Structure 1
Amino acid sequence: MRHHGTLARVEDYFDRTATRTWERLTSDAPVSGIRATVRVGRDRMRNVLLGCLPADLTGARVLDAGCGTGALAEELAKRGAEVVAVDIAPNLIEIAKARVPARLGIDFRAGDLADPGLGCFDHVVAMDSLIYYTDTELAHLLGLLRARTSRTIAFTLPPRTPLLMAMWRMGKMFPRSDRSPVMVPHSSARVASALRAERVPGRLAERERVTSGFYISTAFTHDPAEAAR
């Protein structure tokens, strides 16, 4: 599938290189000033994505696509959702299982967020898990998710600002073996164009941008076509 090359790089980074860093960042442990801004930004973005979904999710089946260490999945379950939480990195899934109370009944799985074997959902959230994909790859992934999601898909992307574009171009200059997967900045217009080219039905909306030091991300929602009428 079209996204599998990028998926392999992300898997290698998170499961073999960044597990300890990610575990610390998503905990209450002290971190550096730079990482502290990222932590604050991610906390804010988690609340933004939760705000894109109904406050009461009782009876709803929700996919946390790229669940990391489980913080968002936990909040979704507390709202009453039946949560399937998937991440490409098995080590992060093990951390999530250890952190999140078993009584919440979250189905944690290691694997591809686009796997049709995960089933169908009322909502999907994807916080900072689609940020490494090109416009074409992103539209393809959203198309796969839309086919199995009856209501809102809420996700984040790095914005296509002059600063992030400059950082992105500089990052692409380094050999791949010496850097983590490169985030791909996006604009809503380019994403919308890619979705049209992929013939993904529905309505894309830019919801809110969160800027906290080194964390800069934009929340989007994609709703089914009937929601636009």
Structure 2
Amino acid sequence: MSTPYLTRRTQLETYFDRTAVEAWSRLTSDAPVSKIRATVRAGRDAMRATLVEWLPADLTGLRLLDAGCGTGALAVEAARRGATVTAIDVSPTLVGLARERLPEIPGPGSVDFKVGDMLDPWLGRFDHVVAMDSLIHYQAPDIVRALAELSLRTEGSLVFTVAPRTALLTLMHAAGKLFPKADRAPAIVPITEGGLRRRIAREPVLERFSVGRTRRVNSGFYLSNAVELTRIRPPSPTAGGGVRA
């Protein structure tokens, strides 16, 4: 990956491990939070529900990568539906919280929390990959390169989020500079859905994937766009009337 990707990854690790540990611990729990954080919490809950909804209802026997797992809420939901989840994040602190909060999961599902880079090829192959709000901090070229890397190890779908480029989001981030640092998130990079689609279409590694469903979640100070990439299956040999004698 590019130098900007590696630089941003290091910045995110520092932010979540030093600057915002307490804020994110409260945000991702049931603890009382400020009105600003309450809108973010509600938005994240809605987005997580969307991404999980796009996965198969029964994940038994399937491997799922939670790329940028944070404190593990999505990973737990997937495991409860039977998935074998590898959940990875660059922040040792967030992964530590995720391990502490991991409930007992009945059935065949499981979660293995790891600290590291979501693009590490040694993580293995997966049936589905979810990257909720972990790519929103990167430039569009790095987002597409990351998707290309992940696609090489994905048999089914890639579902992820990006920050939509809107006048409202620009205004919100300008206004956000007026708030205390504890209420600020790391800098995100708004991009247009049309621009993202064109970049995906031009990426040779992603030629076997197509953009499927998209959905925007807007909740106060949370604004994010979900995107689904699905693998294009080759036509059946018998399609179109079968084999002629």
State whether TM-score is above 0.5. yes
TM-score, structure 1 length as denominator? Answer: 0.91
- Provide the residue aligned with 1:226 in structure 2: 233
Aligned partners of 1:51 and 1:207: how far apart in 2?
12
Following superposition, the deviation at residue 181 of structure 1 comes to 3.4
Mapped contact 2:83–2:110 kept (Cα < 8 A)? no
Distance 1:88 1:227 in 2: 36
Is 1:205 the counterpart of 2:212? The answer is: yes
Aligned mates of 1:16, 1:41 — CA distance in 2: 24
**Alignment-derived partner of residue 15 in structure 1:** 17
After superposition, give the CA deviation of every residue in 1:95-139 in whole Å (9 maximum; x if it has no partner).
000101255531100000111011110001111111011110000
- In the TM superposition, residue 167 of structure 1 has moved relative to its aligned partner by 4.9
1:105-120 pair list within 5 angstroms = 105-120=110-125
Task: Render the CA deviation track for 1:53-110: whole Å, top value 9, x for unaligned.
Answer: 1110000000001110010000000000000000010010010001012555311000
Larger Rg: 2
Matched pairs, number = 223
Question: 2:126 corresponds to which residue?
Answer: 121
- Aligned counterpart, 1:175: none
Alignment of 1:65-80 (within 5 A): 65-80=67-82
Point out where structure 2 has 5 or more consecutive residues left out of the alignment.
178-183, 237-245
Partner secondary structure for residue 201 of structure 2: helix
Preserved CA contact (<8 Å) 1:34 1:214: yes
- Structure 1 residues 167, 44: closer, same or farther in 2, change over 3 A? closer
Contact 1:77 1:106 in 2 (8 A): yes
Instruction: Report the CA distance shift for 1:193/1:168 in structure 2 as closer, same or farther (over 3 A).
Output: farther
8 Å contact kept, 1:131–1:158: yes
C-alpha change, 1:171 and 1:198, in structure 2 (3 Å) is farther
Question: Who is 2:31 aligned against?
Answer: 29
Q: Distance between the aligned counterparts of 1:180 and 1:163, measured in 2?
A: 17
- 3-state SS of 1:205 partner: strand
- From 28, 51, 72, give the equivalent of 1:49: 51
Identity of paired residues, percent? 49
Corresponding letter in the other structure for 1:221: E
Q: Is the 8 A contact 2:82 2:110 kept in 1?
A: no
The answer to whether the Cα contact below 8 Å between 2:164 and 2:224 also exists between their aligned partners in 1 is yes
Aligned to 1:4: 6
**SS at 1:141 equivalent:** helix
Matched position secondary structure for 1:226: coil
The whole-number CA distance in structure 1 between the counterparts of 2:228 and 2:43 is 19
SS in structure 1 of the partner of residue 126 of structure 2:
coil
Q: Deviations over 1:26-75 (max 9, x none)?
A: 00000000100111111111100011111100000000011100100000
Could you tell me which residue of structure 1 aligns to residue 194 of structure 2? 189
Q: CA RMSD in A?
A: 2.1
Alignment of 1:102-181 (within 5 A): 103=105, 105-167=110-172, 181=186
Distance in 2, Cα, partners of 1:55 & 1:180:
32
Q: SS of 1:222's equivalent?
A: strand
The separation in 2 between residues aligned to 1:171 and 1:20, in whole angstroms, is: 19
Q: Which residue of 1 aligns with 2:62?
A: 60
Secondary structure of the corresponding residue to residue 95 of structure 1? helix
Which structure 1 residue ranges, 5 or more long, are not aligned? 173-178
Describe the SS at the equivalent of 2:218.
strand
- Matched to 1:187, the amino acid is T
Identify if the C-alpha distance between structure 1 residues 216 and 10 changes in structure 2 by more than 3 Å, giving closer, same or farther.
same
